[in-house]
Chain A
Amino acid sequence: MKVAKKVCLIGRFAVGKTSLVKQFIDKQFGEKYKTTVGVSISTKELIINDTELSMVIWDIAGFEQDGHYTHYLRGVHGIIWVMDGTEPESFEILDIITKSIPEITQIPSICFINKHDLTDEWCVEEEHLEQLKQLNYAVLNCSAKTGENVEEGFTELAELLVS
């Protein structure tokens, strides 16, 4: 069976959303930062439990404004929350979005805490982890640079989508 699912990446700017997608799809990482304008679309074909899943990944620009995500999130099947493990403020987006779009918590989601390769700067606060646990999200420390947990995270979401 073939299915297509819409997956959106949500996170503050410069947390590494585009790098994670690039790592997942192309197994590549670029040191140079290029901000995303609007949204970048990528697709990845996966086979999950005999299901051919076409994951349409919407890499939404990290622009924090009320209602900015609303249009892009319509009809979304899965959400990947992306935080920066070296930037505690990047976790605040969770509050902002869930308050403006409460129903989003019902959508299958996972959470990447990116930049795990920067161990010296890693500073994830316990209260943020607690908040994520309450939402029953799978939380993965990952690195777009090294590829740590990147494929695992996307695969875990894919399994949620076809289940």
Chain B
Amino acid sequence: MSEERDILKSLLLKEELKLLDQIKQKVLSEEQFTQEVSKVLGGAIKRAQKEDKSFERALSTPIQKGVTRAFSDNKQSIIDGLLPIMGQLIRKTVANSIKQFVADINRTLELGFSSKALKWRWQAFKTDQSFAEIVFQKTIRYQVNEIFLINQENGLLIEHVGTDDMLKDNNAISAMLSVIREFIGDSLQSPDDNLQSAEMGDNLLFFSHGPKAFLVFVVKGSPTERFKIKAQQLIENVHAEFSDVLINEENYRNNTDLQKFLRDQLVTKSISDKPKKINWVPWVVGILTIVLALSYWSYKRNKEYDEMVDIANSIGGLYVQSMVRTRGKFKIKGLVDPLADTSSLQREDVILDTRPYISLDDTITKKRVEMITADFNEVNFNVVNQELTVRGSILPKEQKKFIQKLNSIVGIKRIKNKVVVDNSTEITAFFESFFAIDKPPEFTVSHNHISLSGTLTYSQYQNFIQEIKHLFPEINVNGKTLTISDSNQLLINSINSTVINIPLLQKKAPKQIRLLTDIIKINQQLEQRGVSFKLSIIGQSDCYGTLSDSYSMKRAETIMSTLIQSSIDPAVVSKEILTCNTFDQTQNDAKRVVSFLIKQTEKNNESR
């Protein structure tokens, strides 16, 4: 029954059973199943990621664990794989820092004005490079003389380029470098850190390490940080571009491309060992120029400041408390009198910050006086050390008001009042009343001064002087152009010109008597006026006969006695003769006459 059923089943479901069997084989065979699943795995993951939100969350944990496991199991291979990426990232970071550093240097160098800097700047302009790049190129202070590329594992020399032919046994050197590197790593027990550099004499051995090989640069001088970064970049490039050489020892020292690549990295720029001569001339000139410029600038600035101080100090009524110079402007702070003239400070470069006050400065005090006493036109003022000197004239009625005003002014300690009171009106009135005569003298009055012209008698003049001095003691009379009709000199002249003819000694004619009377009167006037004089009576005679001189004397005595009898002081009278031989006999002079001569003595100063 069972067999029949199986036969029947095979007849009915032969194809299906065959297909079912194939599917069973696929499922049960792990390898085949894996192969089938791998065909749809990619699409299935994509679809699941697209349609099933929980798919990513489900995968995150196993992936995370898997990556962690991979790192811990195969650390070195992952490091080797990441090295080119990490190296680039680190370099990029460092390059950014250097770029900023270079920018700083660039800014500093921009300020340089040496001839070399200008030359480099021109070169940078021509080559379209940055100025800092040119400076870096020109200021390299090292040489890379040798480069060893050494197998990291066994120390064999992969490639060597260099300029020093003395290094024959490069294989031994390569091995020794490897040993040194290993030895230091072992000694310091830090296998993860590598030797970076070693110094030997003038040479610096600089190491850059890679996973399969390391480079050793034999450097003379002081390499820059830039060089160190470049060295690390170089070993990475060697691993990237010459990996087949590194792993196949048969290619060691037999690859021209690698050799050329390394040779290009040599820096053979010659460094002069000669001490650099410093040309001090441009420095000295530059420094002197700067010093001179600064000195001139400072001098000019100080001069401007001093000038401004002088201007400010010269302004009366301005008290400067402080003066500062900021942003090219002078800021003056202080006190200022309203009467002060600050026009000289009305400038764009001056800022005045002042408060009002009353200044005791002499110029301001003078202005204040002039302002208060503006009504008195005939008065002048001067203030020195707070002492006010007043000159000019004022009317008597205004004198009190004027003094009151002066006393009210501040800033005056003492007043020298030289103002005269103007009495012109009063003097004029007095003059006109005093000389109420037909022909009064002319006069001019100015303040206390009066000038006279015309003719007056001696007594009129004396009376006028006496009266006006009594009324106006301060009056000054000028009479230089005034004529005194009976002055002393006129009186004396009239006596001296008088000649009395006396032919007979005993008898006097009426004319003789009248002349003598006039002489006596004049003598009395002179005495009354206080004139001190001596009167000589001179007798003379003709030369006929032998008694001429005695007659001459008798004539003089006769006249003298007559005068004394007429109350003439005998002390002032004297007689004398003029002998006949002293004059010309043919002339009329030789007459029997008496003449007179008055000589004034020193006692009398009054000429009029």
Q: Are A4 and B250 in contact (CB under 8 A)?
A: no
- Most A CB within 10 A of own CB, among B151, B175, B249: B175
Q: Are A3 and B172 in contact (CB under 8 A)?
A: no
Q: How far is the CA of A1 from the CA of B155 in the complex (A)?
A: 20
* A77 / chain B contacts, CB cutoff of 8 Å: 154
Q: Is A54 an interface residue (CB 8 A)?
A: yes
* A74 / chain B contacts, CB cutoff of 8 Å: 153-154
Q: How far is the CA of A1 from the CA of B249 in the complex (A)?
A: 12
Q: How far is the CA of A41 from the CA of B156 in the complex (A)?
A: 12
Give the contacting residue for A56; candidates B153, B175, B182, B183; CB below 8 A: B175
> What's the nearest-Cβ distance from chain B to residue A60, in Å?
10
Question: Do A75 and B253 form a contact, CB below 8 Å, given A41-B176, A43-B171, A56-B172?
Answer: no
Majority DSSP secondary structure for residues of A touching B: strand
Q: Is A160 an interface residue (CB 8 A)?
A: no
Q: Are B254 and A39 in contact (CB under 8 A)?
A: no
Q: Is A2 an interface residue (CB 8 A)?
A: yes
Q: How far is the CA of A6 from the CA of B176 in the complex (A)?
A: 12
Give the residues from 2 to 45 in chain A that come closer than 8 angstroms, CB to CB, to chain B: 2-6, 38-39, 41-43
Question: Do A4 and B252 form a contact, CB below 8 Å, given A42-B172, A56-B175?
Answer: yes
Question: Do A6 and B179 form a contact, CB below 8 Å, given A54-B171, A71-B186?
Answer: no
Give the residues from 141 to 179 in chain B that come closer than 8 angstroms, CB to CB, to chain A: 151, 153-157, 169, 171-172, 174-176, 179
* A71 / chain B contacts, CB cutoff of 8 Å: 182, 186
Q: How far is the CA of A23 from the CA of B186 in the complex (A)?
A: 30
* A42 / chain B contacts, CB cutoff of 8 Å: 172
Q: How far is the CA of A42 from the CA of B157 in the complex (A)?
A: 14
> What's the nearest-Cβ distance from chain B to residue A24, in Å?
14
Give the residues from 178 to 196 in chain B that come closer than 8 angstroms, CB to CB, to chain A: 179, 182-183, 186
Give the contacting residue for A38; candidates B153, B172, B183, B252; CB below 8 A: B183
Question: Do A6 and B254 form a contact, CB below 8 Å, given A56-B171, A58-B175?
Answer: no
Q: Are A6 and B172 in contact (CB under 8 A)?
A: no
Q: How far is the CA of A75 from the CA of B172 in the complex (A)?
A: 15
> What's the nearest-Cβ distance from chain B to residue A56, in Å?
5
Q: Is A76 an interface residue (CB 8 A)?
A: yes
Q: Are A56 and B155 in contact (CB under 8 A)?
A: yes
1/0 contact trace for A66-95 toward B, CB 8 Å?
A: 000001101111000000000000000000
> What's the nearest-Cβ distance from chain B to residue A66, in Å?
13
Give the residues from 211 to 268 in chain B that come closer than 8 angstroms, CB to CB, to chain A: 249-250, 252-254
Q: How far is the CA of A74 from the CA of B185 in the complex (A)?
A: 15
* A72 / chain B contacts, CB cutoff of 8 Å: 179, 182
Taking CB as reference atom, which chain A residue is nearest B250? A3
Q: How many chain B residues have a CB neighbour from A under 8 Å? A: 21
Q: Are B179 and A39 in contact (CB under 8 A)?
A: yes
* A4 / chain B contacts, CB cutoff of 8 Å: 156-157, 171, 249, 252-253
> What's the nearest-Cβ distance from chain B to residue A104, in Å?
14
Taking CB as reference atom, which chain A residue is nearest B182? A71
> What's the nearest-Cβ distance from chain B to residue A59, in Å?
11
Q: How far is the CA of A43 from the CA of B176 in the complex (A)?
A: 11
Taking CB as reference atom, which chain A residue is nearest B183? A38
* B183 / chain A contacts, CB cutoff of 8 Å: 38-39
Taking CB as reference atom, which chain B residue is nearest A77? B154
> What's the nearest-Cβ distance from chain A to residue B180, in Å?
9
Give the residues from 497 to 541 in chain B that come closer than 8 angstroms, CB to CB, to chain A: none
Q: Are B172 and A41 in contact (CB under 8 A)?
A: yes
Q: How far is the CA of A41 from the CA of B254 in the complex (A)?
A: 23
* B254 / chain A contacts, CB cutoff of 8 Å: 2
Q: Are B179 and A3 in contact (CB under 8 A)?
A: no
* A76 / chain B contacts, CB cutoff of 8 Å: 154
> What's the nearest-Cβ distance from chain A to residue B553, in Å?
170
> What's the nearest-Cβ distance from chain A to residue B250, in Å?
7
Q: Are A75 and B154 in contact (CB under 8 A)?
A: yes
Taking CB as reference atom, which chain A residue is nearest B173? A41
* B155 / chain A contacts, CB cutoff of 8 Å: 6, 56, 75
* A41 / chain B contacts, CB cutoff of 8 Å: 172, 175-176, 179
Q: How far is the CA of A77 from the CA of B153 in the complex (A)?
A: 11
Q: How far is the CA of A77 from the CA of B254 in the complex (A)?
A: 19
Taking CB as reference atom, which chain B residue is nearest A38? B183
> What's the nearest-Cβ distance from chain B to residue A1, in Å?
8
Taking CB as reference atom, which chain B residue is nearest A75? B154
* B174 / chain A contacts, CB cutoff of 8 Å: 56
Q: How far is the CA of A6 from the CA of B253 in the complex (A)?
A: 15
* A6 / chain B contacts, CB cutoff of 8 Å: 154-156, 175
Taking CB as reference atom, which chain B residue is nearest A73? B154
> What's the nearest-Cβ distance from chain B to residue A14, in Å?
21
Q: How far is the CA of A140 from the CA of B156 in the complex (A)?
A: 27
Taking CB as reference atom, which chain B residue is nearest A39? B179
* B175 / chain A contacts, CB cutoff of 8 Å: 6, 41, 43, 56, 58
* B153 / chain A contacts, CB cutoff of 8 Å: 74-75
* A75 / chain B contacts, CB cutoff of 8 Å: 151, 153-156
> What's the nearest-Cβ distance from chain A to residue B189, in Å?
12
Give the residues from 11 to 64 in chain B that come closer than 8 angstroms, CB to CB, to chain A: none
Q: How far is the CA of A72 from the CA of B181 in the complex (A)?
A: 11
> What's the nearest-Cβ distance from chain B to residue A64, in Å?
16
* B156 / chain A contacts, CB cutoff of 8 Å: 4-6, 56, 75
Q: How far is the CA of A77 from the CA of B249 in the complex (A)?
A: 11
* B179 / chain A contacts, CB cutoff of 8 Å: 38-39, 41, 58, 72
Could you list which residues of chain A lie within 8 angstroms of chain B, going by C-beta atoms? 1-6, 38-39, 41-43, 54, 56, 58, 71-72, 74-77
The contact sample of 12 A-B pairs, CB cut-off 8 A, is A4-B156, A4-B252, A5-B156, A38-B179, A38-B183, A41-B172, A41-B176, A54-B171, A56-B175, A74-B153, A75-B155, A75-B156
What 7 A-B pairs have minimum CB-CB distances, sorted nearest first? A75-B154, A75-B153, A41-B175, A6-B154, A43-B172, A71-B182, A43-B171
Give me 7 other A-B pairs in contact (C-beta within 8 A), A43-B169, A56-B174, A74-B153 excluded.
Answer: A1-B250, A4-B156, A4-B157, A41-B179, A56-B175, A71-B186, A77-B154
